[in-house]
Amino acid sequence: MTETGIKILGLSGSNRADSFNTQLLSVALECAKRQGASITQLDLGAINLPFYNGDLEASSGLPDTVLDLKKQFEAADGLIISTPEYNGFFPGLLKNCFDWLSRRTGPEDPILSAFDGKIAGLMAATVGGSGGIRSLTSLTTQLHYLGVTVLPRPFSLTHAGKAFNDNGSLGIEQLTTVDDMVVALLRALRRSD
């Protein structure tokens, strides 16, 4: 962490226009900002990240988009990730991002440096009643493998189509729960410093 405070990087696993997960992420990042954190919201769909390909990496090295993304991850103290659930798993958009970020820029680059020391708060928004619990479980497993500490209580938003007000805000009960998750993340980051 820097003297200017905690830096939070937010990612949505959805690249859909008007995504409920991107809306949920925006709500969480605003909560973090109100708590004094510096926030950055990444739009993975706009980055134009190629599918991970070992041959591409061997012939050309890491693409510039990956190098830029890696710098943003390394500069962040914590992560907030909101994911949809596709067939019981988190989307390939996130998996591809993690695959690229796991690669080393050279022999001096520590393995998994983009994830080193990170703590993450996870969320899911789904239109159904499951709230993305399977995608949260698989995402937690993936992040643990990469060395990320994941908060034990993710936020699961069911029936997301009815949860957001016209202005993109959440009802007070859901907003309080999101805020509690963000406060827990910031508290964990302060303790880890």
Residue 155 DSSP symbol: E
Contact between 50 and 19 under an 8 Å Cβ cutoff? The reply is no
CA dihedral 103, 98, 176, 40 (to 10 degrees): 60
Report which residue type is found at 188: A
**What is the Cα–Cα distance from 121 to 79, expressed in whole angstroms?**
6
Taking the whole predicted model, whether its pTM rises above 0.85 is answered as: yes
pLDDT at 115: 97
CATH architecture of residue range(s) 7-192: 3-Layer(aba) Sandwich (3.40)
pLDDT at 1: 54
E strand segments, the chain: 7-12, 38-42, 78-83, 119-125, 149-150, 155-157
Domain regions of the chain by residue span = 7-192
**What is the Cα–Cα distance from 49 to 93, expressed in whole angstroms?**
9
pLDDT at 165: 87
Written as six digits, the tokens of 67 are 């190098």
pLDDT mean values, one per 10 residues, the chain (193 residues):
77 93 96 97 92 94 95 98 96 97 91 95 94 96 98 95 87 92 97 84
pLDDT at 4: 52
pLDDT at 3: 40
Written as six digits, the tokens of 100 are 């690229």
